[in-house]
Structure 1
Amino acid sequence: MGCGPSSPEAERTREIDKDIKKGQKEDNRIIKLLLLGAGESGKSTIFKQMKKMYGAQPTDEEMVRVTSYVRENVINFMKALCDAVQDFGIDHLQSEADVQAVNELMDVAGPEELTPALAEKLLALWHSDVVQQAWRRRAEFQIIESHTVFIERVMEIADPSYHANFEDMLLVRIKTSGIRNEALEIDSQVFHIYDVGGQKNERRKWIHCFEGVTAIIFVVGLSEYDQVLLEDPTKNRMMDAIELFQEISGSPYFTEKPDRPATKILVFMNKEDLFKQKLETGPKINQIPEWKEDFDSFADIETRRLQAAGQDASEAVIGTNYFISKFRAVAPKGGEGIVFRSTIAIDPGNVRSVWNVCKIAIIEYALYELGS
């Protein structure tokens, strides 16, 4: 009886099972890449760069929205500075023209009200001594440091003929909420890339959704070592990033299991350009309460190590290595197997160069995972 011809039902069942196994195999060959990081770390900028590198060009509709957001960003940038001037009690030092410009700015309700006449006043206000005093104390309030580019170009941005370009799209601030994803073909390999909201109240909504992803790119804002969170002004941003990394790298969703290896983790130490600028003009790392206890001793040892090896022992390199050591210290097995790279998310050449190195590591890891 068992050797008789198969029934049509049994044959169909075998075909379905075969299709299911084929689909599972194909799904296993898709590399799932998760972009994580605290709010304003630059991970969404990395996401935009990767989309453009591999053919997902922004639409005309998207760029119209970006144009409006750029104008809104420059208005919010100047409002934050003017609020700080008042909070710091230095508003009495403003000239009559500055006061008039501030009053006009505070009455602006939307990006469409940024006129060339107002833009001229805002540019003068930005270069005023009082606003520059507030700018030097920017770690004490919430402001997006990279938006100096927008205020310096405010006359162009306020012109009715202005249309945002891709560089503006990289710099513009649009808060990421929830999960965005994109399927990209990279070197004949399909990558599903997920960009996840970074604010604290977003985190627990998504972590369970990504068990067993191939790799995580965790983005850190290097220049934020002296800044505090928008949602918690008592919490240092870098310290928050370290605590988030500890939670992610040690999560059972991403650590090794009997049936699969651990998720590959890469850490992008981002905003390297702003980090170097801040070290030249702003507070030093050892002046920040969270870091002053052990930074100097680390710097002494690291300086000697780098000099003995004939390597760059600049303040920025030592600072970057210091923060890398903080991330390694909270990761399982002392961060063994975790790849760290310095990045400038707004620089396409830098992102491409770093990504080309990381891409090879991810694909090799995926092949190993597929064969395990």
Structure 2
Amino acid sequence: MKIIHDNGYNEVERLERRQAIYRNILSGVESLIIAMQKMELRYSTKEIEACADRVTEIIKRNDEKIKLHPELKDAIANIWADPIIQKEIAPRGNEFNFNESCPYFLNALDRITAHTYVPTTQDILMLRITTTGIIEVKFEIKGVNFRVFDVGGQRSERKKWIHCFDDVHAIIFVVALSEYDQVLFEDTRTNRMIESLRLFRSVCNSRWFYNTAMILFLNKKDIFEEKIKTTSIQCLFKNYMGKLVFVKSKS
């Protein structure tokens, strides 16, 4: 909404998101390394194994500011290019909380690690940032003023907002279609789509929103369309008997 109705992001706002993008990249690589350990797989070469050790050491430092210097960038690139990672780990990323946007960033390392790098609109859209607290966006459409509040969907965040909006006109509830085979970051035993269904039911039936309109948005259609070619939605919805194509599966 900010991009479409509020003039998008200026250069300062774009630059502010560089650190978050770097963290997304490191987090993604960490997930790959942990997955290799859990599956007891070996890297293709000793050199790539050394790269994994180097990246793990940097992650453990938990530096407040991350710099993807050439040595670190090359180590990450080598890990991502490893045939074992590409064949055994990346296709099963949903099992290891390997975020869907990570391949996008890992495939653009040269651009992202350039000294002159300024995040693009697409970079910002692909970025995963955990929403904490409440973020407000204001904009105007044809003389009508809108106020939209973005709230945290994580379990720990819900108690902060659910009672604050009993006078809103509508709730926009966003669910990723592609999360039918993924688990929560905060609870690896709980499927994300099942959790979304539970939360949606809870919000719809809440006494705070008795007179509030509900708008359900199903996003990440592009990822879903590709995923169902290899991962059936029957892994979650056992009774689904339709074809594994987007037009049928989306409903």
TM-score normalised by L of structure 1: 0.63
| Contact 1:220–1:270 under 8 Å retained in 2 | yes
1:61 is displaced (CA, Å) by: 3.3
1:254 is displaced (CA, Å) by: 1.6
Q: Deviations over 1:242-291 (max 9, x none)?
A: 01010111112222xxxxxx32211111100110111123x2111x1x41
**Separation in 2, partners of 1:210, 1:71:** 34
**SS state of the match for residue 168, structure 2?**
coil
The answer for the alignment partner of 2:9 in structure 1 is 58
Matched, 1:318 2:248: yes
The answer for the alignment partner of 2:129 in structure 1 is 174
1:52 is displaced (CA, Å) by: 2.2
Q: Deviations over 1:154-182 (max 9, x none)?
A: 12211222121222122222210111112
Q: Deviations over 1:75-120 (max 9, x none)?
A: 2111111111111111x24311211111121122446331233323
**Separation in 1, partners of 2:198, 2:23:** 32
Q: Deviations over 1:192-242 (max 9, x none)?
A: 100001101211221111113111111001100011111111111100000
| Contact 2:171–2:212 under 8 Å retained in 1 | yes
**SS state of the match for residue 32, structure 2?**
helix
Pick from 56, 81, 85: which aligns with 1:127?
Answer: 81
Matched, 1:104 2:54: yes
**SS state of the match for residue 147, structure 2?**
strand
Matched, 1:116 2:70: yes
Give runs of ≥4 in structure 1 deviating > 4 Å.
none
- Give the residue type in structure 1 aligned to 2:76: L
Matched, 1:195 2:145: no
The answer for the alignment partner of 2:164 in structure 1 is 209
**Separation in 1, partners of 2:249, 2:8:** 36
The answer for the alignment partner of 2:34 in structure 1 is 83
**Separation in 2, partners of 1:171, 1:270:** 12
The answer for the alignment partner of 1:285 in structure 2 is 233
| Contact 2:138–2:145 under 8 Å retained in 1 | yes
Q: Deviations over 1:28-84 (max 9, x none)?
A: xxxxxxxxxxxxxxxxxxxxxx11222344344322221122122112111111111
Unaligned runs of 5+ in 2: none
| Contact 1:115–1:159 under 8 Å retained in 2 | no
**Separation in 2, partners of 1:53, 1:147:** 24
Matched, 1:151 2:74: no
**SS state of the match for residue 190, structure 1?**
strand
| Contact 1:120–1:155 under 8 Å retained in 2 | no
* Change in 2 beyond 3 A, CA 1:158/1:235: same
**SS state of the match for residue 250, structure 2?**
helix
**Separation in 1, partners of 2:114, 2:54:** 18
- Give the residue type in structure 2 aligned to 1:113: K
The answer for the alignment partner of 2:18 in structure 1 is 67
**SS state of the match for residue 206, structure 2?**
coil
| Contact 2:229–2:245 under 8 Å retained in 1 | no
| Contact 1:215–1:264 under 8 Å retained in 2 | yes
Unaligned runs of 5+ in 1: 1-49, 256-261, 304-313, 322-372
The answer for the alignment partner of 2:117 in structure 1 is 162
Superposed CA RMSD in Å reads 1.7
| Contact 1:156–1:162 under 8 Å retained in 2 | yes
**Separation in 2, partners of 1:107, 1:94:** 20
| Contact 1:216–1:263 under 8 Å retained in 2 | yes
| Contact 2:43–2:82 under 8 Å retained in 1 | no
| Contact 1:220–1:241 under 8 Å retained in 2 | yes
TM-score normalised by L of structure 2: 0.91
Larger RCO: Structure 1 or Structure 2 (Cα < 8 Å, ≥ 6 residues apart)?
1
**Separation in 2, partners of 1:206, 1:68:** 27
**Separation in 2, partners of 1:161, 1:117:** 18
**Separation in 2, partners of 1:253, 1:113:** 45
**Separation in 1, partners of 2:191, 2:100:** 16
**SS state of the match for residue 187, structure 2?**
coil
1:142 is displaced (CA, Å) by: 1.3
